[in-house]
Amino acid sequence: MTDLFKEKAKDWDVNDTIKQLSSGVGESLLKNIDLNHDMQVMDFGAGTGLITSQIARHVKQVTAVDVSPAMLEQLADKLSTFDNINILCQNILKEPLNIQFDLIVSAMAIHHIENTDNLLKQFSLLLKPGAKIALADLDKEDGSFHPADIQGVYHNGFERDDFKRLLEQNNFTDIKITTAHKVSKNGTIYPVFLATATRNSTTIN
């Protein structure tokens, strides 16, 4: 599979917009989720570890998952001093994990997944009953956030009500969606939401 982020990876962390976005999402996540040192966490679409680095010191272990070897190579180099980060280069929709998590986090990765419903279903299966998610992504936009010729972008953000319905359909309750950050780009403001929710304690069929 082609690594769409191969050329971007080496300069990813020095981009001011990305640094501010990751900081804003991380701050919102830490504000809305109670982390503790017993937690097993998955960072989906972990990239170079900008979110992983903010939560790893607060939890037992972070499993950083991405499909880009180049991005994960940057993560491994940057966070080599941490002993509680497990790095997985894997498409979990094609190769599901046999791990149960207390929390799944994600920042700006879900719009890169074609079938959002299937992804949320997989998240639900990977979570222990009563476990949580904290998912950040773009509010619905007009398609101007990304370059017109970019590959691997399947959604121009999400309507919050639609995203909430998808979460409800996939066994999540206590859903809260707030604004985590606002990206200023080419004179346009693009809000980024953080959706938090709890995996229902009932059995998934």
Q: What is the pLDDT of residues 46-102, one digit of tens each?
A: 999 999 999 999 999 999 999 999 999 999 999 999 999 999 999 999 999 999 999
pLDDT of res. 15: 77
pLDDT of res. 94: 93
pLDDT of res. 36: 97
Q: 202 vs 135, which has greater pLDDT?
A: 135
Q: Does residue 31 carry a pLDDT above 60?
A: yes
pLDDT of res. 14: 62
Side chain identity at residue 106, one-letter code? S
The owner of tokens 């701050």 is 27
What distance in Å separates the CA atoms of residue 205 and residue 30, rounded to the nearest whole number?
A: 32
Query: Considering the domain boundaries, does residue 205 fall inside one?
Result: no
pLDDT of res. 203: 55
Query: Considering the domain boundaries, does residue 1 fall inside one?
Result: no
Query: Considering the domain boundaries, does residue 174 fall inside one?
Result: yes
- Closest by CA to 147, choosing from 4, 38, 40, is 4
Burial of 2-16, coded b for 16+ CB within 10 Å and e otherwise, reads ebbbeebbeebbeee
Averaged pLDDT of the chain? 92
Domains: count for the chain: 1
116-to-67, 137, 154 alpha-carbon distances in Å: 16, 12, 10
Q: What percentage of the chain reaches a pLDDT higher than 70?
A: 91
Query: Considering the domain boundaries, does residue 58 fall inside one?
Result: yes
Q: How confident is the model at residue 188 (pLDDT cuts 50, 70, 90)?
A: very high
Domain that holds residue 103: 9-199
Q: How confident is the model at residue 151 (pLDDT cuts 50, 70, 90)?
A: confident
pLDDT of res. 142: 95
Query: Considering the domain boundaries, does residue 3 fall inside one?
Result: no
Q: 152 vs 163, which has greater pLDDT?
A: 163
Per-residue model confidence as pLDDT tens digits over 162-178:
999 999 999 999 999 99
Q: Does residue 1 carry a pLDDT above 60?
A: no
pLDDT of res. 8: 64
202-to-98, 125, 149 alpha-carbon distances in Å: 19, 12, 43
Quickly list H helices, 79-159. Answer: 116-126
The CATH number covering residue 112 comes to 3.40.50.150
- What angle separates helix 160-169 from helix 116-126, to the nearest 10 degrees? 50
Q: Do 6 and 70 touch, CB atoms closer than 8 A?
A: yes
Query: Considering the domain boundaries, does residue 29 fall inside one?
Result: yes
